[in-house]
């Protein structure tokens, strides 16, 4: 099974939470069109897509990644750091229930999925404005029986850990080393984003390709030079809400 869960853009998308970028007007119609293109990219790469309807009163709810962590054995329902986003998890838990056993992060834990980078049995969690050490401790308690270990990672100047670093494949990571310390990732092959494209470190490997924004051509060229196949998407309107390509889906592969 290859399934992606997505959610359409809320009509209140302009009221999204912002932390590290300035607010600029978002055209919701363009954002929806770009999101539909992203969904089509997932379908083109062989994924069935469960498309959830927009949540009218939850501005950030298109960014479903923040609500859950999908592992082969279990799914963690998060507790988002922004109070306005905490209600997003209920409908995601319902959607995931047929596919995984569910466990939950509880107070005082705070966790956004965008802060969670899973590399084999190692789980790196960005200690950001949205995720805390209490959540890391709970993850270790919940996941230890499956052989996972979670680590808190210091980061700065960006919203989520996966703004600064993402997985390209099992051995390779795409990184902006100005925002996270590379000492956390010894033993991996690191591809640095182009210096002119600080937000280019977020990529989504699915199937035999990597979903990647057209907005970062210089970093895209680096990935292609290394032999990676890219599936181009236009997501600049979604990026005005501090969103990126990993943010807009939950990927389930069995």
Looking at the annotation, which residues are catalytic?
160, 247
Degrees to nearest 5, angle at CA 216 with 212 and 218: 115
| Whole-number Å distance between alpha carbons of 33 and 6 | 14
SS3 of the chain: the string is CEEEEEECCCCCHHHCCCCCCCCCCCCHHHHHHHHHHHHHHHHHCCCEEEEECCCCCCCCCCCHHHHEEECCCCEEECECCCHHHHHHHHHHHHHHCCCCCEEECCCCCCECHHHEEEECCEEEEEECCCCCHHHHHHHHHHHHHHCCEEEEEEECCCCCHHHHEEECCCCEEEECCCCECHHHHCCCEEEECCCCCCCCCCCEEECCEEEEECCCHHHHHHHHHCCCCEEEECCHHHHCCCCCHHHHCEEEEC
| Whole-number Å distance between alpha carbons of 212 and 253 | 20
């Amino acid at each position: 099974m290859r399934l992606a869960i997505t959610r359409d853009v809320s009509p209140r998308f302009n009221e999204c939470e912002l932390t590290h970028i300035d607010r600029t007007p978002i055209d919701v119609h363009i954002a929806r069109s770009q999101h539909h293109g992203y969904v089509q990219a997932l379908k083109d790469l062989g994924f069935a897509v469960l498309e959830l309807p927009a949540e009218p009163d939850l501005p950030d709810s298109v960014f479903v990644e923040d609500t859950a962590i999908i592992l082969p054995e279990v799914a963690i329902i998060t507790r988002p750091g922004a109070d306005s986003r905490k209600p997003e998890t209920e409908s995601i838990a319902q959607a995931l229930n047929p596919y995984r056993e569910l466990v939950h992060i509880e107070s005082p834990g705070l966790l956004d999925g965008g802060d969670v980078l899973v590399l084999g049995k190692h789980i790196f969690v960005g200690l950001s404005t949205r995720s805390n050490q209490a959540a890391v401790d709970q993850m270790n308690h919940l996941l230890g029986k499956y052989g996972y270990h979670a680590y808190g990672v210091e980061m700065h100047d960006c919203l989520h850990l996966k703004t600064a670093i993402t997985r390209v494949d099992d051995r390779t990571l795409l990184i902006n080393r100005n925002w996270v310390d590379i000492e956390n990732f010894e033993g991996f092959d690191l591809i640095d984003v182009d210096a002119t494209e600080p937000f280019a470190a977020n990529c989504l490997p699915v199937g035999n390709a990597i979903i990647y924004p057209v907005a970062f051509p210089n970093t895209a060229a680096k990935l292609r030079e290394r032999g990676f196949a890219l599936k181009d998407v236009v997501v600049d309107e979604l990026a005005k809400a501090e969103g990126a390509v990993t943010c807009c889906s939950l990927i389930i592969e069995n």
